[in-house]
Structure 1
């Protein structure tokens, strides 16, 4: 189904209290270290059978609109209602759509419909990265057919269920994506760039044997923010957010902003970075895997540089 009232796009481009959050500050940036403030967690519930499994997130520039991507191949959008302190009070869905293939056929959950990464450019075009059949597609309308993005040769080497979970788009419209798992390159995890119709390896980020990139966004400060996950089986999930200054052909060292403890939050997979007038706002969403033991959470932090 589809609906109206899509949120405005970006302009131009827990369980523990705040003091319990582990905010490890990295190196590589001169001057004062940023202050990290945990703002709150909102549990989102809706009754329809397609609700859940959220792996991608975009937030409008003023923090009042959202787009949420499910790994069962659906996209929903709507409004975020906030209290006087700017914390999420409620989400209202205005519409949702089942993504289609390039022939206009609805994608079924599974191999073809495992949607993971979400990015929206300044023109309002929607980009989605998929696992299963690892690929990226563009949607000029969420109710319309996919416009395929040419596949890079590296996509064929991705391991099953360890593919393109993280996707971001730069101010100039270049796509950036990276594999969740890529063990064979001593330089680290490659960040692949799609620019002017061609793929290239833009740069590499340090690879950590326990942390896997599952979400990415370009912040209003022009930096690349990457959400990483550490799955500990029955002990739960840990999440980490690091950011990077980058240019056309280089990237700086990582700066760790957030590192959560086990069971502090659910399975955070999507990240959106925006500006709230008091600093950089980081909003993350969890994938509940459609399991009753898990839940859909939106977790927010503020970064004051």
Structure 2
């Protein structure tokens, strides 16, 4: 049994964590830090809600704390958890700087503790499907991939007249997509940055376009904008023998927002209209155009991996060096944006 506690009782914990940790056999939620008297989220039966964080630090039954608070508090709370002898799972972005990340990983190693970033989108349906197609070999040698994470939410940047790295679009969204790239293709040899504040310097960062370059002329482009009324495809993969286009994103978040939970058998499952399209030439030179049944995404696989690491001693799903490299890329993106604004 792995006994856990949540620091934070908001949308992050209740929408993006608890429905998935609850799916894993032998994980038990004992406590949730909830400083507010009233919460819009229903209380979980059998779980103790506390207002004093020391009730978590001093509970010897709690083996893992999950930090699901606003990003500005992630580093301080993660450090506090380690100092108090607790293993920690930290919501993304893991920290503001790579130096903070290195400090946390070093502290965990010194104390013989586990700390990891919650990179649940490694288990997005669209990303898993892309891997399946690439590994089938039907595309030949892959030399280019475009990834898009678009919205049409102009009210978000328009309502903000200040800038903070941890609240930027780069930190809050590239922390998903850049991690996906690093997890599959490893650390890039070079990164080109186009990070903007479309509404002007000093305002929220609301656009980014990163090109991650690898050996063999492979380029992976990660692009996002708050001003895309018509979303671009989630993934487009180009190879020497064909192309794969996945128009739509993973549906887990869509279902969670509708309070359609993971205990439903069709939770997050793509319908035929969501399937990607594969275009390729076979060995005989014949053209093919086929739909590819989507893989099933499942964010509980992160929690299953954490259970395996803490209880059975298996390797972390999200490696320390992957998290550090991701944050280095985010840091440099903001630095490049600032330089371009001068």
Q: Under a length normalisation based on structure 1, what TM-score does the superposition of the two structures give?
A: 0.28
Q: When you count strand as a share of all residues, which structure comes out higher?
A: 1
> Highest CA radius of gyration, 1 or 2?
2
Q: Under a length normalisation based on structure 2, what TM-score does the superposition of the two structures give?
A: 0.26
